[in-house]
Amino acid sequence: MAATAPTKTTRQGSVEPFTIVDGPEAWRAEDYRGRDDWVTVLSPVHVAELDAAIQGVIRAGLDIEGNPRSVTRAAFPLPTLGPALEGVREEVVRGRGFVVIRGFPVDRYSRRETLIGYWGLGLYWGKAVSNNKAGHLVGHIKDIGHDPANPLTRLYATAAAQPYHNDAADVVTLLCLKNARSGGLSSWSSSISVHNEILRRRPDLGPVLAGPWFFDRKGEVPPGKKPFFAIPVFNYHEGYLSINYSDNYYLLSQRHAEVPRLTKAHYEAMELFNQLAASDEFRLDHMLQPGEIQVLSNHTQLHTRAEFEDWDDVDQRRHLLRLWLAPEVERPLPESYSEIYGGSVEIGNRGGILVAGTVEHISLEAE
């Protein structure tokens, strides 16, 4: 008998598998297109507090590069901005799942001041975790000449388009320093809404997406682990639906003989998932401007970036900074997430990439 579309509706905290999930994170583009209430603008008072906190770190001689965790929240006081940042975190973790912050003064900060300030904001959102095997606690999103066709290349180090995906942490934030000459549009969609629509259109694909999908590690292999692992796309766990999706990693995993071959149903699921995420019905577009910060939940949101053409002048090229964060208040995750979350699903202490030889630090430049 053919699968039938679900009629029952549940909410995060009491989600039942293969039901329609309702709530603020299950938005559609029409809910927010043409509005700006998802943008938080830093006030002059907020910026003055940020200036003072950055200078306090510098005066104290704290080492943001070699020992970034020496810059603690106590060392970075933000009397009125701090509560506003906590409100952003709550909106991302428990609400609609995304916020854009405007007005971080990258135009007048040095690179070190920018890194201190961005790190300091992150302290109010959660614990920063490693972006790559090198241990970068603040990632640099920049084309540094890596070959996108190389299976070990992380696409953030290229000018190529990135397919819809989510990252290896609870929350991802991006701070725009400079834009490309053309292209580089950011877009995001609610993965919860995509889930709902797939169950309405193709309920037979629900169990496929809730089954194991094999994920390639792109050479960033923790000690004792294989170069791939299994994790579902639809993760129903303790009343929560968390979605993990990156189709290029599933396709890449097929290079390993041990990985089961993708079936026709897998390909149909990826095609429909991508079609929905990129559609006008579900997609929001925003060209991040210098000084804007995008904050997203990786459990309820998908994001992508269009390809871009950069400037000839190296100093003017497109450049974003990235924080992966583990908030102290978050949802429970199934054990399978430990494979992509640095070996842990402990709330507040999970996410990131850790391999043999990883040393946490912050680099001033992309490398």
Q: Which of 132, 115, 153, 165 is nearest to 321 (CA)?
A: 115
Q: Is residue 238, in this structure, part of any structural domain at all? A: no
In this structure, is residue 13 part of a structural domain? no
When divided into structural domains, the chain yields a total of 1
Which single residue is written with the structure tokens 């402990």?
Answer: 346
Q: 320 lies in a domain?
A: yes
209 assigned to some structural domain: no
Please return the burial class of 9, using the count of CB atoms within 10 Å of its CB with bins 0-12, 13-18 and 19+: middle
Q: What is the pLDDT along the chain (367 residues), one digit of tens a residue?
A: 468 999 999 999 999 999 999 999 999 999 999 999 999 999 999 999 999 999 999 999 999 999 999 999 999 999 999 999 999 999 999 999 999 999 999 999 999 999 999 999 999 999 999 999 999 999 999 998 899 888 888 989 999 999 999 999 999 999 999 999 999 999 999 999 999 999 999 999 999 999 999 999 999 999 999 999 999 999 999 999 999 999 999 999 999 999 999 999 999 999 999 999 999 999 999 999 999 999 999 999 999 999 999 999 988 999 999 999 999 999 999 999 999 999 999 999 999 999 999 999 999 999 8
| Helix/strand/coil (H/E/C) assignment for every residue in 304-352 | EECCEECCCCHHHCCEEEEEEEECCCCCCCCHHHHHCCCCCCCCCCCCC
* Domain that residue 38 falls in: 25-190+286-339
Q: Examine residue 59 and state whether it is found in any structural domain, yes or no.
A: yes
- Report yes or no on 64 lying in a domain: yes
Measure the CA–CA gap between 339 and 224, rounded to whole angstroms: 12
> What DSSP assignment string belongs to 276-314?
HHHSTTTEEEE---TTEEEEEETTTEEEEE--EE--SSG
* Residue 216 is assigned to a structural domain of this protein: no
3-state secondary structure of 75: coil
- What CATH number has the domain bearing residue 317? 3.60.130.10
